Chain A
């Protein structure tokens, strides 16, 4: 099992053969697709395609269950903000009136469109994070020639996050060992106790940061000046090489995007007005 940023992918997954840049490119380009697609059925199809990719990459599908509550709560928030807080327009069609609030078809329709635009965007991100180890993300960034400082700060952030998580576990136990019993206490109480976690975490980080900086300097890292402009050999990239299928994937992704734009603006595909799903729904609700 290899630990990726969000989950585990078994060693034999085909996704490892793909150059990390391709994964990053996929995420960046494909997450743009929903911006040009308003008909929800197409976005739902896109989401299913991404889930299919995750399955092919042997991502543990059980972990996707974690996102269900997120999806549900997000959908609820979008629905409520559009329908209850959305405001009206004289041409809107009133579908129902409930508890003093008017429910207009156009608002419901807009909520659905937005919701199914956001979901695939999130899923591309989830797909990327589920199939990339920390090193892949860094390699992807370096391969597009991002400045070393940026990739390094990102790597350090990951490292720091890991350390903070480890510390957090110990701090929880230490406070429990002093009689802190969260069972049966109210949520506001627990939140007020946050200082019990924050202070130790800060203290630990502060004490480490001095050592950290010293270690960086001692390894010859220069933040400014001539030494900072040294040409880095980027040894990490030697482990990754582009293979023929990487180029094929990049081409496919780029072509799909272009095709999408052509179909959308040239031929008017993917618009709300033509959406059979929306028409269906409208029929049910009226």
Chain B
């Protein structure tokens, strides 16, 4: 697995702040992995995401130190528009991303921007509509669909451009639980069927944990923890100190661990947790 994102000693300071928003970032991301990035608000997660797709330093003024390499090339070295073909970003506000007057136009906008011909556009449109189940909404204008549906459209519009790297910056923070799980369902399907590298910044850990191979904790502008998901959540105290509240199941087993009543791996799902409880209490698993 090659490393397609390599960030070395990277720091970025926005022009109008005294301190860097992020500093001493060292991160390597392998192709095809699914990474979850978490951390308190203001810790620098969005800054990091924008650094990978070129919005920083492209759209923002500031001071950059260190290197951010995507597919072996520095982010600034890409011509305008070419990095965007490789790295797609879904933002958190569904309203501010919907720029066209119908869903179909929205999906096609990015494809036209990168100069695809009609046949290719049609193919990609069909694929992405099927993947995200947007068929009934194609003709609808933005004011007739909900925030959750708009976010699905945003995700589809970015996917249609077939980026090798997909970054989602708090894609579900403004959505209700139903819409939220629909987005994650699409991501799950994507993980199964394609080989994209996916980076998801989220507060909603419950949905993220089952999908993420690796988790990164950003706290106070730097990487505080970077590990595979299982080992990541074993560090319960560190996470709580950083202001992260892992999902209930994990926190429960961590509590037991703190009281000396448990010493194994923390289960990451409800099912896993229930199973573990049965083992601990000597109750026969009804699924066996």
Residues of A within 8 A of B (CB): 3, 133-135, 138, 155-156, 158-159, 162-163, 166, 208, 211-222, 225-227, 230-236, 238
Cα–Cα, bound, A220→B80 (Å): 8
Whether the pair B80, A232 counts as a contact (CB closer than 8 A) is no
Whether the pair B53, A218 counts as a contact (CB closer than 8 A) is yes
Beyond A219-B110, A233-B121, whether A211 also contacts B79 by CB under 8 A is no
- Which B residues touch A232, using CB under 8 A? 112-113, 115
Whether the pair A233, B117 counts as a contact (CB closer than 8 A) is yes
- Which B residues touch A231, using CB under 8 A? 115
B88 at interface by CB-CB < 8 Å: yes
Interface string of B75-103 (1 = CB under 8 A from A): 00001111011001101010111111110
- Which A residues touch B158, using CB under 8 A? 218-219
Tell me the minimal C-beta distance from A228 to chain B in angstroms.
Answer: 8
B16 at interface by CB-CB < 8 Å: no
- In this complex, what residue of B is CB-closest to A163? B95
Whether the pair B85, A220 counts as a contact (CB closer than 8 A) is yes
Q: Which of A134, A166, A222 contacts B141 (CB 8 A)?
A: A134
Whether the pair A155, B100 counts as a contact (CB closer than 8 A) is yes
Beyond A219-B161, A236-B105, whether A159 also contacts B84 by CB under 8 A is no
Whether the pair A159, B108 counts as a contact (CB closer than 8 A) is no
Cα–Cα, bound, A235→B106 (Å): 11
Cα–Cα, bound, A219→B53 (Å): 11
Q: Which of A3, A208, A218 contacts B89 (CB 8 A)?
A: A218
Beyond A159-B101, A217-B84, whether A238 also contacts B157 by CB under 8 A is no
Instruction: Classify the secondary structure of B's interface with A.
Output: helix
Cα–Cα, bound, A220→B112 (Å): 9
Tell me the minimal C-beta distance from B266 to chain A in angstroms.
Answer: 36
Whether the pair A217, B55 counts as a contact (CB closer than 8 A) is yes
Which of A214, A227, A238 has its CB near the most chain B CB atoms (within 10 A)? A214
Cα–Cα, bound, A212→B143 (Å): 17
Q: A-B pairs with CB below 8 Å: how many?
A: 115
- Which A residues touch B143, using CB under 8 A? 162, 166
How extensive is the interface on chain B, given as a class?
35 or more
Beyond A214-B55, A232-B112, whether A220 also contacts B117 by CB under 8 A is no
A-B pairs, top 8 by smallest CB distance, nearest first, are A227-B81, A211-B96, A220-B113, A219-B110, A134-B101, A230-B115, A220-B84, A215-B97
Q: Please report which residues of chain B, range 91-135, place their CB below 8 angstroms from some CB of chain A when the two chains form the complex.
A: 91, 93, 95-102, 104-105, 108-118, 121-122, 125
Tell me the minimal C-beta distance from A189 to chain B in angstroms.
Answer: 32
Whether the pair A215, B96 counts as a contact (CB closer than 8 A) is yes
- Which B residues touch A158, using CB under 8 A? 101
B17 at interface by CB-CB < 8 Å: no
Q: Which of A133, A220, A230 contacts B161 (CB 8 A)?
A: A220
Beyond A208-B95, A222-B81, whether A135 also contacts B101 by CB under 8 A is yes
- In this complex, what residue of B is CB-closest to A134? B101
Whether the pair A233, B58 counts as a contact (CB closer than 8 A) is no
Which of A3, A138, A159, A208 has its CB near the most chain B CB atoms (within 10 A)? A159
Tell me the minimal C-beta distance from B75 to chain A in angstroms.
Answer: 13
Cα–Cα, bound, A235→B113 (Å): 11
B2 at interface by CB-CB < 8 Å: no
27 CB-based A-B contacts, threshold 8 Å = A133-B141, A134-B101, A135-B101, A138-B101, A155-B101, A159-B98, A159-B100, A162-B141, A162-B142, A211-B96, A212-B96, A213-B59, A217-B58, A217-B59, A218-B84, A218-B91, A218-B158, A219-B161, A221-B109, A221-B113, A222-B81, A225-B80, A227-B81, A233-B112, A233-B115, A235-B111, A235-B112
- Which B residues touch A234, using CB under 8 A? 112
Whether the pair A208, B112 counts as a contact (CB closer than 8 A) is no
Beyond A214-B59, A233-B121, A236-B108, whether A220 also contacts B81 by CB under 8 A is yes
- Which A residues touch B113, using CB under 8 A? 219-222, 227, 230, 232
Whether the pair A227, B79 counts as a contact (CB closer than 8 A) is yes
- Which A residues touch B122, using CB under 8 A? 235
- Which A residues touch B81, using CB under 8 A? 220, 222, 227
Beyond A159-B99, A212-B96, whether A235 also contacts B55 by CB under 8 A is no
Q: 19 additional contacts, CB 8 Å, given A217-B59, A231-B115, A233-B116?
A: A158-B101, A159-B142, A163-B95, A208-B95, A211-B93, A214-B59, A214-B89, A218-B55, A220-B84, A220-B114, A225-B80, A226-B80, A227-B113, A230-B114, A230-B115, A233-B118, A235-B108, A235-B121, A236-B104
Which of A159, A163, A211, A233 has its CB near the most chain B CB atoms (within 10 A)? A233
- Which A residues touch B154, using CB under 8 A? 215
Q: Which of B80, B89, B98, B142 contacts A227 (CB 8 A)?
A: B80
- In this complex, what residue of A is CB-closest to B119? A233
